[in-house]
Each structure stands twice: as C-alpha cells, then as structure tokens.
A = this chain, B = another copy of it.
C-alpha cells in the first residue's frame, strides 16, 4: 500500500495510536494544535510545522520575506489556539545549493521581523541541502491555561475571529497573476494568504479569562477544523450561514465567497466555542477584537448548516489533504 491511499489524518491517527500519551508530564499529546507539557512546575507548549515547497508554499508566488513571516506565524497560530505565549523558536532549513543567498536573506528578514513582533527568540536549528526548499519551525512557549479542542459542550456558542476564506481567495488571485503592490483592492486577500497574522492576543485573552470551552486555529478550513473540534469534544455543530463573516474584498473578487469561507484553508483565524453565559463578555470583547458568533454546538453529531429560515443540511467537511 502507498501512502497516497492514506489520508494525512489517518496517518496522524495511526501515529497517535502507536505513541499514546505517557506520564503526568504530558498534559496534551498528539492530535491537538500543540502539545502541552509539564516537565516542572510550569505548563509548556510545544508545536512544529513543516512547510515544503510546491506543497505548502510556492516560491514563484510567495515573496521570501512573507514566507519567513508565515513560516513562524503558522506555528504561533497553533500557540494562539491553545491560549499560550510563545517564547522560543528553532528553525530547520533545507535548501537546493543553487538557491540565491538573497532569497535566504529575505526569508530570514521576514522571520526575524515576525519573531520581534511576537517576542520570540530564535535559539537554534539545523541546515541541510535538499532538492526543494523545506522549512521546519518549532516553537516552545508557556501554556498558561491551555484551551484544548476537546472542551466543547452541546449548547455552547461558536465563534470565529476575522473574516473567512480570504486566504484561499488570495491564493486564487495570486495564481491568476495578481500581486501585492500591483493590485491594491485585492491586497487584503493577498495579504491574508501571504502574511497571515496569528491571533495571539485574542487566544490569550480567551484562555486567561476562561471564556472559551474549546479552541482550534483555522488552518484546514472551517468545515474540516470544526469537524476536528467536534470530534475531540464529542459533539456536533450548526453553522448559520448568514453569520459567517465575509470581507468586502472577498465579496468583490469571488463569485461564491461562502464556499471559500467554509472550505478554504490557511486563514489562521481562531474558531472557538463558549458557554452561552459568556455571550455578553464576548460581545464586549468584539469591540476590541474582530469576532463573530456563527452557530452553536449540538448533542447530535455531524455538522449542519442553516440558511435563514431554511432547513438544516449536512455539511461535508472538505479541505485539501496532503496525501489525497
């Protein structure tokens, strides 16, 4: 059997089965946004993302400065989804020898800038030759009061930060020849894809004030990531389509923005559930942060969408899986 016939999710499930959570020092192991560890008194958070050229990024579309930022920020998004505070990073880089050093310099400039903005210190890493560019970033941070994917309860309200689908819309526009600096009206969409911003402050506020019952970052798309949250929490969900936040730009550039909002990945916004009694506090929070209520969790399994008065229809989670 080839790996192709196995989903990425199936492989992770298989690995999680092989490596069960062991010992009191492992608070959260394989399968959440990040692992939570307790080697001493402090809760630590550890996460890693692997970015491979032509799979996770495209050199002709992604200016190296923004790729430097994004390769750190996607990890910080995992930390944000746990309500943690990032502290240290390791950087593993694999390059073809014919890579321009200028490219590497720009990449590092972006990485450094994103690290400075978020208070992260690069403390080590490794370098190798490779046939294509490979980037492996690890982030270690402090967990505070970690918010897992598994704490959602039926009746909890569902919220997302930001507007959804913008990154995927930006990716499509890049493929159609749009470029940052050349297409001003499309810039927010291009930025959403090239230069996502990790929701660290929001994640920490939700965790510190115990407002969220479960949280995940939107990397694979709302339908897939909501499925992950629901599976981990043992619940189902209903999304009210008219409440899904769409930017004016996605409405202007995309014919079916809702499809991208539901299934487009890489937004790196936060999806979280909260008990109904927290609604007032979250409404207050929405003056400072861009958050929107989009539905609720249900005892009935499965993810459903409602559109105004119309009846519920089941939503099939659909994202891009690497091995399919």
User: A residues touching B (Cβ–Cβ < 8 Å)?
Assistant: 1-6, 8, 11-12, 15, 18-19, 21-23, 25-26, 28-30, 32, 34-35, 37, 39-42, 44, 46-52, 54-56, 87-88, 90-102, 104, 108, 112, 115, 121-132, 134, 136, 138, 140, 142, 322-323
Asked if B46 and A90 sit within 8 Å, CB to CB, the answer is: yes
Q: How far is the CB of A282 from chain B (nearest CB, A)?
A: 29
A130 / chain B contacts, CB cutoff of 8 Å: 52, 55, 132, 134
**Given A3-B104, A18-B108, A37-B123, also A136-B97 (CB < 8 A):** no
Q: Is the CB of A15 within 8 A of B108?
A: yes
- Shortest CB-to-CB span from A141 to chain B, Å, is 8
Q: Which of A4, A115, A134 has the most CB of B within 10 A?
A: A134
A258 to B58 CA separation, bound complex (whole angstroms): 46
**Supplied contacts A2-B98, A18-B112, A129-B322, 14 more A-B pairs, CB within 8 Å:** A2-B100, A3-B96, A3-B97, A4-B97, A11-B127, A12-B127, A29-B121, A40-B40, A40-B41, A46-B124, A46-B138, A48-B124, A56-B128, A130-B132
- For the complex of A and B, the 5 pairs showing the least CB-CB separation, nearest first, are A136-B136, A4-B97, A35-B123, A40-B42, A50-B92
Task: Report whether A125 and B30 are in contact in the complex, using a CB–CB cutoff of 8 Å.
Answer: yes
Among residues of B, the one whose C-beta sits closest to the C-beta of A22 is B121
A35 to chain B, nearest CB (A): 4
Contacts of A98 in B (CB 8 A): 2-4
Residues of B within 8 A of A132 (CB): 130-132
